[in-house]
Amino acid sequence: MEEKQKNRMKDLPKIDLHCHLDGSMTRQCVEKILQKKVDPAELEAKDSCQNLAEYLDRFRLPLQCVQKEEGLRMAAKELLLNAAEEHVVYMEVRFAPLSSVHEHLSCRQAVEAVLDGLKEAQAQCQVSWNVIACAMRHHPQADSLAMMKVCREYLGEGLCAVDLAGDEASWPMEGFRDLFTQAGKLGFPFTIHAGECGRVENVLEAVECGASRVGHGIALKGHPAAQKLCADRRIGIEMCPTSNLQTRAARKDEYPIREFMDAGLLVTLNTDNRTVSGTSMTREMEFVSREYGVAKEELERFFRNAAEVSFADEQVKHRLYSLKFG
């Protein structure tokens, strides 16, 4: 892709609905928090991972960084400022509060540190944002429910939804029905990581539980009935191409983005983990344009889909709808 085209891609407005805070901490930020030099190979997956579990091992150092309020605040601030540099106009930042909670840091303190960092960044840029609190599959569900009850206090005040993340193969969706029934009763909208590396049944279970979006959803590939169900219900599909290829969720020559588009699914394009995957929204757009022939008007469709299925309030959505793409 010529340099001129790359610059044009960078200047297009972008929405990133699926971006994890810990997986997007730059090496410089990690080094500053940990006060030591870090080998880039410890943070970046590239193409060396054999599966999702191996990919998740790259989070070891970032997780050490989010054990204090200052680390959470710094990481959140840096993430939003970096996103602003490539013309991201709205972002939903995911983080797992329980991954930061310990004897000296409460769930409430962790949430407020992330919110504070994003507020500090927004004072310096024009990116609108929200936070999605992730329950992790390997955490006790009683603890996850307690976390959600704390997060409920911030719903509509910077926190917009909850999610389920982690090793899907080891902890499939059917084991979390009760947790997300409770999330719904608390008033949370939610998205769920499903079909990233697991079965299509995980996607269907997530939708039946009330998820309005699905993280990744690659397992929908080759299942037209399931695709139709998601299209009919206007379920947002949060695709993260670079990450999906690195975790071996799909092969490059079989990546289902075109199949999903043709099925009428509400496809959105996202980064997942900017540092671990070595990516950005600009790079994701360049990649799908180059590898799958995604045209500019189709990139605009992804943008409009993202605005529709976002957890933003109506005022922010109206602003996103009104933006000119290009």
Catalytic residues, by residue number, are 196
Residue 67: both structure tokens together: 């054990």
Residues 287, 241 contacting (CB under 8 angstroms): yes
Residues 203, 226 contacting (CB under 8 angstroms): yes
Q: What is the rounded distance in angstroms from the CA atom of residue 263 to the CA atom of residue 243?
A: 22
Q: What is the rounded distance in angstroms from the CA atom of residue 162 to the CA atom of residue 183?
A: 8
Q: How far is CA 265 from CA 234, 268, 309, in A?
A: 7, 9, 12
Residues 19, 94 contacting (CB under 8 angstroms): yes
Q: What is the rounded distance in angstroms from the CA atom of residue 168 to the CA atom of residue 172?
A: 5
What's the distance, Cα to Cα, between the start and end of the chain in Å?
17
Burial class from Cβ neighbours inside 10 Å (0-12, 13-18, 19+) for residue 146 reads middle
Residues 211, 165 contacting (CB under 8 angstroms): no
How many C-beta atoms surround the C-beta of residue 169 within 10 A? Answer: 15
Strand order in the sheet with 14-20: 14-20, 88-95, 128-136, 159-165
Output the furthest CA–CA distance in the chain (Å, rounded): 52
- The DSSP H or E segment spanning 134 is strand 128-136
Q: What is the rounded distance in angstroms from the CA atom of residue 222 to the CA atom of residue 103?
A: 47
